[in-house]
Amino acid sequence: MKMKLLNCMVLFLLFVPYYSSAARTSLKNDLQVHNHLKSLNKPPIKSIKSPDGDMIDCIHLSHQPAFDHPLLRNHTIQLRPNYHPEGLFDDIKVKSLKSSKGSEPIKQLWHLNGECPEGTIPVRRTKKEDVLRASSIKNYGRKKKKNLNILRPNSAQPDLNTQNGHQHAIAYVDEDKYFGAKATMNVWEPKIQQPNEFSLSQIWVLGGSFDGDLNSIEAGWQVSPDLYGDNNTRLFTYWTSDAYEATGCYNLLCSGFIQINNQIAMGASIFPVSSYHGSQFDISILLWKDPNEGNWWMQFGNSNQVIGYWPAYLFSNLADGATLVEWGGEVVNSASDGQHTTTQMGSGHFPGEGFSKASYFRNLQVVDGSNQLRVPRDVKTFTEQSNCYNVQTGKNGQWGTYFYYGGPGRNRNCP
C-alpha cells in the first residue's frame, strides 16, 4: 500500500511541473492573441452586424491599423489622388441571359444592415478563431511563401507536386514600364476542396526580381476558408515589398494600405455572384501610381469609388513603375491526397465554354508614363497545367482585349 502511494506521489510530482509549463504556454499564447486582436480591432464609432456573421466596425479614419507603423505616425492622410489616369473606358453593361436588363451593381452584404458615417472607414472585425486558424500569429493575414518560379511566366515548368503549390491561369504584359492597370472581371463562388486552399481572381502590379526583392500590389476577389472561416466570395487587396517574405498582408491586417472610403470594407463578402448559364455580375478595379506623390491608389466599381492607397515608402522597385502586370486566377493545389485538388478557379469551367459559363476579364488596360490608360500591347498567357486550368484571349469592339480563364482542377485529363 505504501509503495502504491509512493508511486502515485512520484507521478503527481512529475506531472505538476509539466502541467504548469503547458498552462503557462497556453496563457502566453492567449495573451499574444489578445494583444494582436487589440492592435487590429480599433475602438469603433459604430458597429454593423452583417447577415453573413461578420461584424463591421466603423473606425475613425486616423485610427486605422496603417498608422501603427513608425513611419506613418505623423503621416498626413491624402484624402484624394492628385491625378486620375486619363482615357478611362466607360464600363459596358453585361447582358443577362435571363433578361434584357444590364447586370445589377455588386454590393457588400453588410450594406443591408447599415452604413458607416463620413470620417470613418468600415473594417471587418478580426475574431480570435480567425487568428487561431493561422500557422502562427505572425503569419496571420499573410500568404504562405510560394515558389516564385510559378509567378515568372517565362520560367521553366515548375514542380507542381509540392505542398502548397500555387497554380495560375493568367494574361500578362512585360515589354514596357507600367504605372497602373485596370480590368473588369466577373465574380463567382468557386468550390474549395481543402480549408488551407484558396481560389482568387485579381490584378497583379509587379516590380523587382523574383529572388527576394519583389514588390507586388494585388486586388480582386477570393474565396479563402483559412483566412475568413467560410466559403464566401470577398473583395481583397494584398501587398509585399520582399517577395512575400516578411512584409505585407491582406486588406488592413497589418500596417500599410491606407483606406479613405467609408462604403467599402476590404475582406467583406460581395454579392450577388455570377451563375452558370445565368446572370453575370462583374466588378472593375483600377490600380495606379500618383505621378505627383508616388502613392499607389486603388479604385473599385462602376461608380469609380477611390478606396485608398499604398504609401510610396512601402516600395522600392515600384517607385519607378512596374515591369510586369498580370490579370487572372490563382489557386492553391495542396495535393493532400496525392492527387490534384478539385478546387475550382473562376467559375470552375474551362474558357472554351464562353460567356455565362466561363469566368472572364474584359477591357484590359494599362497606365503609361504619361498617365494615360491604353490598351496593352503584346498580351501573353501563362498556365502551369492547361488540362487543370486554362486561359484564352480575344479582342472585340465592346470588350476590347479580354480573356476567359479557369477550370475545375482535377478531372480525367488532370489526375
Q: What is the DSSP string of 70-119?
A: GGGTTPPP--S-S-PPB-PPPPPPPBPTT-SSBPPPPEEGGGGG--PPTT
pTM of the model: 0.89
Residue keyed to cell 474549395: 192
Partners of residue 402 on adjacent β-strands: 394
Strand ordering across the sheet containing 199-207: 234-240, 215-223, 199-207, 324-333, 165-173, 380-383
Query: Element (H or E) spanning 363, and its range?
Result: strand 359-367
* pLDDT over 70 (residue 27): no
Tell which residue, 18, 275, 37, 200, has the closest CA to residue 134.
37
Grid coordinates in use for 314?
512601402
Please state the rounded mean pLDDT for residues 208-218: 88
Contacts of 376 (CB under 8 A, 6+ apart): 173, 325, 364, 365, 366, 401
In the structure, what pLDDT confidence band is assigned to residue 302 with cuts at 50, 70 and 90? low
Q: Which of 7-16, 216-225, 263-272, 370-379 has the lowest mean pLDDT?
A: 7-16
Look at residue 398 in the predicted model and tell me its pLDDT: 93
**Spatial distance between the Cα atoms of 125 and 176, rounded to a whole number of angstroms:** 40
pLDDT at 102 over 50: no
Report pLDDT for 212. Answer: 76
> Interior CA angle at 200 toward 365 and 41, to 5°?
105
Nearest-5° angle of CA 291, CA 296, CA 298?
120
Among 257, 288, 283, 287, smallest CA distance to 200 is for: 283
Answer for the pair 204, 325: CB distance below 8 angstroms, yes or no.
yes
- Just give the CATH number of 44-79+100-406: 2.60.120.1270
Mean pLDDT for the chain? 87
Local structure of 33: helix, strand or coil: helix
Domain ranges of the chain: 44-79+100-406
Neighbour-count burial for 60-79, b at 16+ CB within 10 Å, e otherwise: ebebbbbbebeebeeeeebe
Cβ 215 vs Cβ 316: under 8 Å: yes
Cα–Cα dist 264/270, whole Å: 10
Q: Is 104 a catalytic residue?
A: no
> How many of the other CB atoms lie within 10 Å of CB of 328?
29
pLDDT at 181 over 90: yes
pLDDT of residue 101: 36
Asked if pLDDT for residue 157 goes beyond 90, the answer is no
Of the residues 189, 197, 218, 384, only one is catalytic, namely 218
End-to-end CA distance of the chain: 64
pLDDT band at 92 (very low <50, low <70, confident <90, very high): very low
Residue 103 has pLDDT above 60, yes or no: no
Q: What is the pLDDT of residue 319?
A: 93
The three-class DSSP label of residue 66 is helix
Highest average pLDDT, of 15-29, 55-69, 97-111, comes from 55-69
Beta-bridged to residue 287, according to DSSP, are 181, 298
8 Å CB contact between 279 and 263: no
What is the amino acid identity at position 318? L
Average pLDDT on 294-301 reads 94
Q: What are the grid coordinates assigned to 95, written together?
A: 447582358
How far apart CA 210 and CA 321 sit, in angstroms, is 16
Residue in 163, 169, 124, 157 with CA at minimum distance from that of residue 144: 163
Encode 393-410 in three state secondary structure: EEEECCCEEEEEEEECCC
Cell of 148: 516564385
**Kind and range of the H or E run holding 56:** strand 55-60
Question: Which is the catalytic residue, given 189, 197, 330, 384?
Answer: 330
Which residue in this structure is represented by grid cell 462604403? 263
pLDDT on residue 97? 42
Q: Would residue 101 be called left, alpha or beta, if left means φ above 0 and alpha means ψ between -120 and 50 degrees? A: beta
Q: What's the rounded Cα separation, in Å, for the pair 110 and 124?
A: 10
pLDDT tens digits for range 61-91: 999 999 888 878 788 999 999 989 988 654 5
How far is 357 from 158, CA to CA, in rounded Å? 29
* pLDDT recorded at residue 162: 37
Q: Is 175 a catalytic residue?
A: no
pLDDT at 53 over 60: yes
151: left (phi over 0), alpha (psi -120 to 50) or beta: alpha
